[in-house]
Structure formats: C-alpha cells, structure tokens
A = this chain, B = another copy of it.
Amino acid sequence: MSYCLAIQTRHGLVFASDSRTNAGLDQANVARKLFTFVKPGERAFVLVTSGGLSLSQSVLAVLTGEYHVGKGLASAETMYDAARCVGDAVRAVAARDREHLEKDKVAFNVNFIIGGQIAGQAHELYLIYPQGNPLRATPESPFLQIGESKYGRPILDRAVRYDSTSLEQATKLALISLDSTMRSNLTVGPPVDLVVYHAGELRVRQQMRFGADDPQLVTIRTQWEQELRAAAQRLPEVKFPEG
C-alpha cells in the first residue's frame, strides 16, 4: 500500500506522500510518489500516486512524454483538462496492461491526485480513479486521500477547513496524518515527500523530503504524542450513573 493526501484551502494546496512500495510482504523498496510539472509563471502541477508501481510509472511515462512535446499537461487549458490528461494517460496504460493483469487476477489499480494552477485561473485539486474519471475537491470536502487512507483521516476531518485553515497549519496536519499512518501500518513508510503550493505563485517554491529520522518530523511526532496524551488528560472524567 501507499498513503498520499492533498489538502485544498483558499490559500493554496498541500501535498504529502509516503515512499514505501512492496510486492506482498517481500520486496519492500523506496519509490518517489510525488511529481511536479512546472512552467514558472504559466502553470504548476503536483501529482501524487498510489497503487501498482509498474502502473504509476507507465502513467508518468505517458504524461512526461506528452509534456516534453508541448502536449498533455503542457497545454491543458484548465485544471479540469489537466485532470482529464491524467485520466487519459491512466486509460492508455489500462488499454495496454489491464487485460494481461486480469489474466492472473491482478487488479488494475492505480490512483492519482493532481492539483495546481494555470495562470489567470483558480487553484484546484482532483482525484483520478483507476477508471480515469476525475473527482474534484470542494470547500465542503477540502482534502483528498489515496491508498491506506483510514488511519490518517480523523485528524483531517476534525481540523481541516477550506476557509479558515492556514497553509502552515494544513502542512502540519498533513504530516500528522501521514506520520500517524506510518506508525499504525507497516506498508506505509518513509521518506515523506511534501509540497506546499501557495495560490497565485505558479511555481513550486516549498518542497522537501523527510527521512525517518528527520529532526522536524521527529519533533512533530514526539510533540504530537505528548499533546494528545495531555489533551486526553484535560477531558472531563466520564461519570457513571450510581449503581
């Protein structure tokens, strides 16, 4: 499995991904799952991906090939079109591989999130299903997750708000969500890739990779655990009926 998420607020976008890949319990490896396509001042896209690594690599190969000849993500006129480019690439790979996978009962499973901005338009965020169709994040549902998403969801449900959450806060929440998932599930592992995109910038200025022992990640992990315990201590004690 993998775990990737992206948060959209009125101020921009935050993307985070783990880097663990595995075939069953064997062959655990590190693979980057976060990619950027940027023409500074004109367009900036960030993609994260989960599912079969062979499949996501093929989709990236299609997208990169198009991009270098000025097609696909290089010429998409809207964020919706960009999401459709990713979906078309997924379908192109499905046309080539799906039947062969299914002969051996391997599911065609690859998921993408793409977010970003094109000059003169709003920043947007989409999830692309393995069937190639897009789903857009909205102010009411301001985050998207792919892969092993359940462990890291409650903190997002409770704390992410499109209007009021700052990008700095969203960044911390994304790292908490990912770190909690790594703690509870062995198939999600470091390093963690992170991009914070500020609306209107049309370039990727804040990008970073955190190893397992990165001091900032260790501080967040340690302090968060202490904060949770202290917060639970402060809750009122449960009172039972007299019995």
Contacts and interface: CB of A to CB of B under 8 A. Distances in A.
B184 A153 contact: yes
Interface stretch (A67-75, A115-123, A168-176): A168-176
Nearest to A179: B154
A158 interface: yes
Interface stretch (A43-51, A83-91, A131-139, A225-233): A225-233
Chain A: number of interface residues, binned into ranges: 35 or more
A206 B151 contact: no
B154 A183 contact: yes
Given A216-B238, A240-B196, A225 B172 contact: no
| Most central of A150, A157, A220 by chain B CB within 10 Å | A150
Given A150-B151, A227-B231, A231-B224, A237 B158 contact: no
Interface of A: 150-155, 157-159, 168-169, 171-173, 175-176, 180-181, 183-185, 194, 196, 205-208, 216, 219-220, 223-225, 227-229, 231-241, 243
Interface residues of chain A: helix, strand, loop or mixed (majority): helix
Given A238-B194, A238-B216, A228 B155 contact: yes
For the complex of A and B, 8 pairs with smallest distance between CB atoms:
A150-B150, A227-B231, A154-B180, A206-B240, A158-B225, A153-B184, A172-B235, A171-B238
A150 B184 contact: yes
Nearest to A156: B184
11 contacts: A150-B151, A153-B184, A154-B183, A155-B232, A157-B184, A159-B228, A172-B238, A176-B235, A219-B235, A220-B236, A227-B234
Contacts of A234: 223, 227
A159 B225 contact: yes
A238 B175 contact: yes
A5 to B, nearest CB: 14
Contacts of A241: 208
Nearest to A233: B169
Given A231-B231, A239-B216, A158 B172 contact: no
